Chains A and B, each alone.
Chain A
Amino acid sequence: AQKVTQAQTEISVVEKEDVTLDCVYETRDTTYYLFWYKQPPSGELVFLIRRNSFDEQNEISGRYSWNFQKSTSSFNFTITASQVVDSAVYFCALSDPNTDKLIFGTGTRLQVFP
């Protein structure tokens, strides 16, 4: 069965701190995608990144970076020099390669204080 675990329910940091959000997944599929979505207080789901299971290169986008490690089935997300606007719930998700439906984790609430 497919499963996504985000063990951190809530994280609080002070502005400019670096913060890493953990994501561990389970799947028997050899081909799959991993995602991160941001849900700000306004409620919408904002796509951040999609990673193919065959591509283990880490990715950096501005202050955001992602560390994909197949050996540990993890896809962690780091925000460098956090800002108050980063405050949101962040969801990690895994796709079913046959149907494209997403299996979401329970989310991590990040609060960045000024």
Chain B
Amino acid sequence: GAGVSQSPRYKVTKRGQDVALRCDPISGHVSLYWYRQALGQGPEFLTYFNYEAQQDKSGLPNDRFSAERPEGSISTLTIQRTEQRDSAMYRCASSSRQGRAGYTFGSGTRLTVV
């Protein structure tokens, strides 16, 4: 596609529910990144993939968070048993090759846990 596409754009869920956030990167982009941005803060790194391999998940806050990119294209970030503190903007970005810094961010998914 022309840009990085994320869905849903907005998600409101009840505490304790699982959510899955989807990222469709720019076609052909090797690297895919997930970030989380709390209100009034800068984005914080969660995890990233090269092709289908998860290279670094050091930013995932706890084991309720997981991500996959099974075919090296679309990625899903899953949050299990959501808590109110998970409320944030979740952003995905992709780049053509690791080391080619300056990637393109998607519009994000605004998650609200009530």
A associates with B: yes
The interface on chain B, measured as residues whose beta carbon lies within 8 A of the other chain's beta carbons, has a size of 27
Name the B residues within 8 Å of A103 (CB-CB). Answer: 45
Chain A positions 85 through 114: 1 when the CB is less than 8 Å from some CB of chain B, otherwise 0: 000000101010101111111110000000
A52 to chain B: closest residue by CB: B101
Q: How far is the CB of B10 from chain A (nearest CB, A)?
A: 11
Dominant secondary structure at the A interface: strand
The answer to whether B43 touches A102, judged by C-beta atoms less than 8 angstroms apart, is yes
Bound CA–CA A100/B107 (angstroms):
20
A66 to B35, CA, bound (A): 25
Within 8 A of B (CB), among A1-16: 4
Q: Does B99 contact A (CB under 8 A)?
A: yes
Chain A residues closer than 8 Å to B110, beta-carbon distance: 43
B91 at the interface (CB under 8 A from A): yes
B102 adjacent to A50 (CB under 8 Å): yes
Residues of the B chain whose Cβ atoms lie less than 8 Å from the Cβ of A100: 31, 33, 48, 95, 98-101, 103
**Residues A45 and B105 in contact, CB atoms below 8 Å apart:** yes
Instruction: Please give the distance in Å from A27's CB to the nearest CB on chain B.
Output: 13
With contacts defined as CB atoms under 8 Å apart, how many contacts are there between chain A and chain B in the complex?
A: 60
Count of chain A residues near B, Cβ 8 A: 22
For the complex, is A55 an interface residue (Cβ under 8 Å from B)? no
User: Shortest beta-carbon distance, A1 to chain B, in Å?
Assistant: 13
By beta carbon, the residue of chain B nearest A44 is B107
Which of A33, A50, A104 lies in contact with B42, CB distance below 8 A?
A104
CB of A75, distance to nearest CB on chain B (Å)? 14
Residues of B within 8 A of A (CB): 31, 33, 35, 40-45, 48, 55-56, 59, 89, 91, 95, 98-105, 107-108, 110
Q: Give the interface of A toward B (CB within 8 A).
A: 4, 33, 35, 37, 43-45, 47, 50, 91, 93, 95, 97, 99-107
What are 12 A-B interface contacts by the 8 Å CB criterion?
Answer: A4-B42, A33-B101, A43-B107, A47-B102, A47-B105, A95-B101, A100-B31, A102-B35, A102-B45, A103-B45, A104-B43, A104-B44
What are the 5 closest A-B residue pairs judged by CB atoms, nearest first? A104-B42, A50-B102, A45-B105, A33-B101, A101-B45
